[in-house]
Structure 1
Amino acid sequence: ENFVSARRLMYWQVYLHKTSVAAEAMLISLIKRAKKLTQAGKTIPATPALSIFLERDITRQEFLDDPDLLGIFTMMDDMDIWGSIKMWQSHEDPVLSTLSHDLLTRKLFKIKLSNEKFESSVIDRIQNLIVEKGFNQSESKYFIQKDSISNSAYIPKGGSINILMKSGEIIDVAQASDLPNIKVMSKIVKKYYLCYPRNLKLPADIFES
């Protein structure tokens, strides 16, 4: 029971911490921009392994048909990403260079969490503020990320934790526990998030319903 409780807290405070989510959202925007520019014929410096995945939209079937692709993918690590981002911070594309510089200098996106999906009107207002900073509509979308995160400390239907009782019977830990807390933690908690540039000053009422 203590293990399951610790697991739940670890996910919220480490993997799903707001800083981690914001940094990941920023990195996703950055890779998407680099990929779009590469496929549009722009010269985007990157390591050989990363360049292959920027140039092509590789499907799952291609991985299955070509073992070399999987080998190239497994050769990549954080050095490929960080090394490429360091080169991108001086690129002529303003979106790529801005995101790269901000990520390297830890000027991460601000993040807002909610139990409900964010209204499209809120996203439109933020996008308009980004446009006022000098980016066009298509560029502004790279500075906004929205999605959801979820956490469940224990899902019985997944890899269940079984307890061997003194009677010899094997039952699920949620059934074996006398504490209702285990059953509560098996419920999936879902939150929605919205990321936007840290230096963007939002109106005080923008998130008011």
Structure 2
Amino acid sequence: MKTIPTTRKIINDPVYGFITIDHPLILAVVSHPYYQRLRNIHQMAFAHLVYPGAMHSRLHHSLGAYHLMGIALNELKSKGIDISPEEELGAKLAILLHDCGHGPFSHALEKELIPGVHHEQLSLLIMEKLNEEFKGQLTTAIAIFTDQYPKKFLHQLVSGQLDVDRMDYLNRDSFFTGVAEGVIGYDRILKMLTVHEGQLMVEEKAIFSIEKFLISRRLMYWQVYLHKTVVSAEMTLVHALRRAQELIAGGIVVKAATDALDFFLQNRQASVNIKQHLDLFCRLDDHDVMASIKNWCNHQDPVLAALSRLIVNRQLLKIRFTPDPTAITTLDALRKETATQLGITEQEAAYFVFTGEARNTTYNPKDERIHILFKDGQVKDISAVDNALINYGSSLSYGEIKKQYVCYPGTLKITPQ
């Protein structure tokens, strides 16, 4: 069994001031190597290529979400909601570990390194492994995380349309990018939280704060998370790894900079038995990938080398958002010129000229809804309140936007229209 330290810790956080860790089990989990690896995984992947301040990590975010969870639970308890010390500890551990299953560059590489395994599945495997090490002390946390705990509002605080995860990442990402549109009234929203019939709700006085929260999230997605340069950089990284895997499959030697990353590149079936390789996965972080990309800048394969140099030198592919998919004839012309320019085949040119789709929805009523509790006991969805900013009617009412994009080398004479 792991030795549990008893020292109380106060962490200085630039967003909230001070974050207190005052339970020995939480301190032990935070001190564990599985958690500490989050220091080396960027919260916002390549957003720092556009917003240089966005260098904060998954560890920063998880500590911030933990802090907001503590405030939310205290607020609910002050309103007479029954939350036991064990449930409070469980909810704090669940949010603290909710992102521990993220791999290098988080969502950008989620489907590439460990295909078919979502980061939440990996988070659960890690939590189960920690539960074994700590002799069952994370059992309640796991039940809350997986929505198996009877008090559903505890899971809703961890994962829902109005969870403390989203509140922290909007607040934190706005702070570190300097994008003011992401600022939300998180303190007022937390003050207005309540529980009605076992479900997490918000008092009617917070309607405008909730609408501002939803709009801020929409703006942050299109201004930051799905910024065209960020999309270009992340997709170039994806294509570099795909090229490395293609070369390996063809018998060409491609070595990663670390044993951990090399194992997953060379063994594409490892994801089938990822539980057996959990320790190795937990040795992966952004450094493994970037060190490999730097090495591959001089690889004998011109495609892998060129893709790697684009990332390292920040000489990224041009990207254009379009309302409609790019015509096949245009793609063929772009790939033909790219092949000539780089001295590669047109098939290989597809690594430099490709299309995709970016999408975001401001509020999806098919997901867990945001319920407003009125003084007279009525409960309404946020989209059904009087004069709602987000209302029923069509997909556009919920801010659903899809944008097609095409990436291509900026040195081409031909450009997509």
TM-score, length basis structure 2: 0.46
Q: State the secondary structure of the residue aligned to 2:303.
A: helix
Residue from 64, 79, 87 that aligns with 2:287: 79
Residue from 20, 28, 40 that aligns with 2:238: 28
Deviation at 1:138, TM superposition (A): 2.4
CA distance in 1 between partners of 2:243 and 2:386 (Å) = 49
Q: 1:176 to 1:71 in 2, by over 3 A?
A: farther
Greater shift, 84-93 or 139-148, is seen at 139-148
Amino acid at match of 1:126: L
What is the match of residue 266 of structure 2?
Answer: 55
RMSD value, Cα: 1.8
Aligned pairs for 1:36-55 (under 5 A) are 36-46=246-256, 47-55=258-266
Does 2:369 align with 1:160? yes
Q: State the secondary structure of the residue aligned to 2:315.
A: coil
Q: 1:88 to 1:36 in 2, by over 3 A?
A: same
Q: 1:59 to 1:146 in 2, by over 3 A?
A: farther
Unpaired segments ≥5 residues, structure 2:
1-210
Do 2:325 and 2:404's aligned partners in 1 also have CA atoms closer than 8 Å? yes
Amino acid at match of 1:176: V
Amino acid at match of 1:161: I
CA distance in 2 between partners of 1:176 and 1:41 (Å) = 61
Deviation at 1:60, TM superposition (A): 5.3
Does 2:218 align with 1:8? yes
Please list the CA deviations of residues 108-142 of structure 1 after superposition, one character each: whole Å capped at 9, or x if unmatched.
11001111111111110101101111111221111
Deviation at 1:150, TM superposition (A): 0.6
Aligned pairs for 1:88-107 (under 5 A) are 88-107=296-315
Does 2:338 align with 1:130? yes
What is the match of residue 186 of structure 2?
Answer: none
* Larger relative contact order (Cα-Cα within 8 Å, sequence gap ≥ 6): 1
Amino acid at match of 1:138: Q
Kindly name which structure, 1 or 2, has the bigger radius of gyration based on alpha carbons.
2
Q: 1:59 to 1:49 in 2, by over 3 A?
A: closer
What is the match of residue 186 of structure 1?
Answer: 398
Please list the CA deviations of residues 136-179 of structure 1 after superposition, one character each: whole Å capped at 9, or x if unmatched.
12211111221101111111111321111112122211112523
CA distance in 1 between partners of 2:400 and 2:374 (Å) = 27
Do 2:270 and 2:277's aligned partners in 1 also have CA atoms closer than 8 Å? no
What is the match of residue 198 of structure 1?
Answer: 410
Amino acid at match of 2:371: N
TM-score, length basis structure 1: 0.89
